[in-house]
Chains A and B, each alone.
Chain A
Amino acid sequence: MTDQAKFSLDDDSVAVIIGSGAGGATLANELAQRGIKSVVLEAGKHYTQADFENDEWAMFNKISWLDKRISAGGWHHTQTYPNLPAWIVKGVGGSTVHWSGVALRFQEHDFHTRTTYGAVDGANVLDWPITLSELEPYYELAEKKMGVCGTKASGLPPMPPNNHYKVIEAGAKKVGYKNIVRPAASNSEPYDGRPGCMQLGFCMQGCKIGAKWSTLYTEVPRAQATGNMELRPECMVLQIEHDKSGRATGVLYVDGKGRKQLQKARIVCVAGNSIESPRLLLNSASSLFPNGLANSSGQVGRNYMNHATAAAVAIHKKPVYMYRGFDIAAVVADEVPLDTRRGFVGGYYLEGLAIHLPYTAAFMKPGGWGRDFASAMEMYDHMTCVWVCGEDLAREQNSITLHPTEKDQYGLPVPIVTKTYHENDDRITAHGLQQWRKLSEAVGATRVIDMPAYPASHNMGTNRMSEKAADGVVNRWGQTHDVKNLFVSDGSQFTSSSAANPTLTIVALAIRQAEYIASAMQRKEL
C-alpha cells in the first residue's frame, strides 16, 4: 500500500470508484491496466490474510457490515434478523472476502425473462438490454481472471470431491439428476501466483492462504502496483455531487479520522453492493434531482432481489464431516433449465454449502430450542447441508428506502430493506426443499430439517439495467440514463437475478464496463 499513487482531492481527472468488492475492485484494476487513474473509496478497513481466523463468529464480527439496517416487509427476516437483512462485508475486498466461490454463468433466457415469461402478475419482470452472446467473451475473461476451476478459460482441473460432495452426488444420481457440477473460483492447483486449495473449509471466513479468488489480494494490489490507483480504506461516501448541468463532479466522504472530504472526479462509479449503492443515490438528491440522483424513473432502490432461497440439513446414518474441505460441495444443475410444468417460472440450483457447527446452531432453526433441536445438533458430524439458489422475480415494492428520521454513525439515513416473496419464489424454494429431501433419503438420510433463508448474501437489482430510461436506472454499459458520467458497477445493475450466483456476472460486467469507459474517454465522450 505504501507505494501506491496519491491523488489530490481537487484532481478532477480521476475516476472515483465507491467500494472495493467484486464490481469496484475489478473495474479499478481493469481501468488501471489501461492507464486510467482512479481513487477507490472503501468504507471498511484493510484487513489482510494475517487477520483471517478459521472461526465463523470471529470473522463475522470482524468483517461484516454491521451498521444498522432495518428489515421490513413480509419475509421472515423481520423476525429472525431484524437489523441484519443482508450479509455483506465492510472491508477492502468487499463481499469477495466472505464469498464461497460458486461461479456460474447466466443462461440465455435469463437476459430476456420478460419476453420468455410474459408479464408475471405481481412482479416487475424486464428484459436486459444485453444478451448472453454479448457477455460470453467477458465471462471467459472473468473465469480466467478468477481462476474458476474446471473451466476451459482457466485450464484448472475441477476441485476434487470431498466427503460432502460424495454424499450429495450419490443422492442426486439416485433420484435421476445428471448435471452435477462444482464451479469454484478457487485454485484446485497453484494458479496466478496463488497457492492451491488446502481444503481448509473456511472459504466464507476469508481464505487464509488465498487460494480462493478475492479482490482483496488480486485486483486491489494489482491495480495499486500500476501506479494508477489509490485505495483509501475507512472512507465512507456520503454523497455524490453534481454541477448545474447535471454532471457528477465529485464525492463527499468521511475519512478514517472522521473528517469530511470532497474528492473531485471526472467520472463516478458506484459499487457499494445493492443496498448501499441505491442508498447513496437516494441520499444525493438535490433540487435538480429531487427524488435522488439518476432517479428520474423512480426505479432507484426498487426491484430488490436476493434469490429465492432456503436451506436444509440432512442427517445421515454415518459421519460426513461436511466442514472438511472446500465449502461448496456438489451443485445440482438439473433444475435450472426453464420448465414451467413445475408450477413456476425460472429455476434453481441445489448447492451443497457446508456451514460449521456455530453457524449450524444459529441458522438451522433461528429461535428454535428443546430436545428436537439439541438432538439434531448432536448429529452435526453426520450432516449434509444444501442451499437452494433460485430465481427471484423483480418486484417494485421490494426496495431500499431511507428511514425518515433515524441516522447512522455517519449521519446518513438508515436504509430500510423491504422484501416480500412472490408466490413464484415460494414455489421454487418449496420444490427445491422437496427435491433435496428425496435426494438425501435416497442415500439413507434419517432426518431432513428445512431451514429458513440466511441473511441475504446475493443482493441484486436496485439500480437495474434497462433499454428505456423509464424502466430502470442504467443502460447497457451500467451508465446511468440520467447522468452521463455516473456509472453503477456492482450487482445492483441486474435486471433479473437468474438462478446463478451473481459474482461471476458482476465481474464480467465490470470488465466490459471498463472497456467501454476507456474507449468513451478516448472518444472524449466522458
Chain B
Amino acid sequence: MKLNPFKPAGQAANDASPGHEPAMRVLDKAPRVQRRGFLRGSGLGAIGVVVLPAAPALSKEAARALTADQSFTHLGKHAGRTLVRMARDIYPHDKLPDKFYVQAEAPYDGLAKKDAALKKLLVEGLQDLDQRARKQHGTPYLQVKAESDRVALLRGIESTPFFKKIQGDLVTGLYNNKELWPLFGYEGSSWQKGGYLHRGFDDLDWL
C-alpha cells in the first residue's frame, strides 16, 4: 500500500484502521519531473541564470544540451556540456534529470568571470581532459561513447586539482540540492511539521 508521505503532523499516516496492519510510512523515490519543468528549473533562476522558454519539439538530447548551453555564457557551451557530462559520470544517478547536474555546475560560469585563477583551472583542466580523450579515443571527452571509457579518463585525472575541485564541489552542489532530496527518500527540514513525532519516527515494520 502506498501512503501519502506528506500527511500533516498529528494525522498519523499509519492509522491502523480495522483489518489493516499499521504500515511504515514509505516515501516514493520515483522522479516526477516534466521536461518543461526542468527546463524552467527554479534552481537555475536562484543562481542567477537566465532561462529561456523551451523551444518546441526538442529531442531529449537537445533539451539537455540547451540547458547546459544557456548556463555557460562565459566559459562556453562546450565547457558547460563537458562539465555536466563529467558531473553525471562522477555521481551517476540514472533517475536524476540533467537539471540537477546543470544546477551543480552552472555557478562556475559566473564565478569564473570574477576569478581568473578558477577560470584557468577549469579551462586548462577541461583542455587536458579533452586532449587525453582525443589521444585515446579520437574525440573530445563529451563524445566518448562508453561510460566506462569516460570513467577511465576521469580516473586518470583523479588526483589533479581540477578534478578534486569539481568532485569536491559536487558533493554539496548535488546532494545539498533540496529539490532532489525526495528522490533519495530524504525529507529535510522537519520542525515546521512538528518533527517526526507523529510522522513515522518509530513505524518500522519489517524486523
A residues bordering B, Cβ < 8 Å? 53-57, 160-163, 166-167, 170, 197-202, 208-209, 317-321, 323-326, 356-358, 360-362, 367, 369-371, 373-374, 377-378, 380-382, 443
Contacts and interface: CB of A to CB of B under 8 A. Distances in A.
B196 A371 contact: no
Nearest to B205: A318
Contact of B90 (A162, A170, A369): A369
A166 B184 contact: no
Contacts of B199: 324
A356 B174 CA distance: 14
Contacts, number: 128
* Chain A facing B: main interface SS: loop
A53 B191 CA distance: 9
B188 A325 contact: no
A55 B188 contact: yes
Contacts of B4: none
Contacts of B206: 317-318
Contacts of B187: 323-324
B49 interface: no
Contacts of B151: 370
Most buried by B among A55, A167, A374: A374
Interface string B124-165: 000000000000000000000000000100100000000010
A162 B185 contact: no
Interface of B: 24, 26-27, 29, 90-93, 151, 154, 164, 167-168, 171-172, 174-176, 181, 184-191, 194-197, 199-204, 206-207
B93 A55 contact: no
Contact of A324 (B167, B168, B181, B200): B200
Nearest to A208: B191
Contact of A54 (B92, B93, B188): B188
A398 B65 CA distance: 52
A160 B151 CA distance: 46
27 contacts: A54-B189, A162-B202, A163-B202, A166-B204, A199-B195, A200-B195, A200-B196, A201-B190, A317-B206, A318-B24, A320-B204, A321-B27, A321-B200, A323-B187, A324-B187, A324-B196, A325-B197, A325-B202, A357-B175, A357-B184, A357-B186, A361-B171, A367-B168, A369-B154, A373-B91, A377-B175, A377-B184
B190 A200 contact: yes
Contacts of A356: 186, 188
A480 to B, nearest CB: 42
Given A163-B202, A200-B191, A319-B24, 15 more contacts: A163-B24, A199-B195, A209-B191, A319-B185, A323-B187, A324-B199, A325-B197, A357-B175, A357-B181, A357-B184, A358-B172, A362-B175, A369-B167, A373-B91, A381-B29
Contacts of A324: 187, 190, 196, 199-201
A163 B203 contact: yes
A360 B196 CA distance: 20
A358 B191 CA distance: 18
Residue picked from B164, B174, B204, most chain A C-beta under 10 Å? B204
A373 B170 CA distance: 13
B191 A202 contact: yes
B89 to A, nearest CB: 8
Nearest to A166: B204
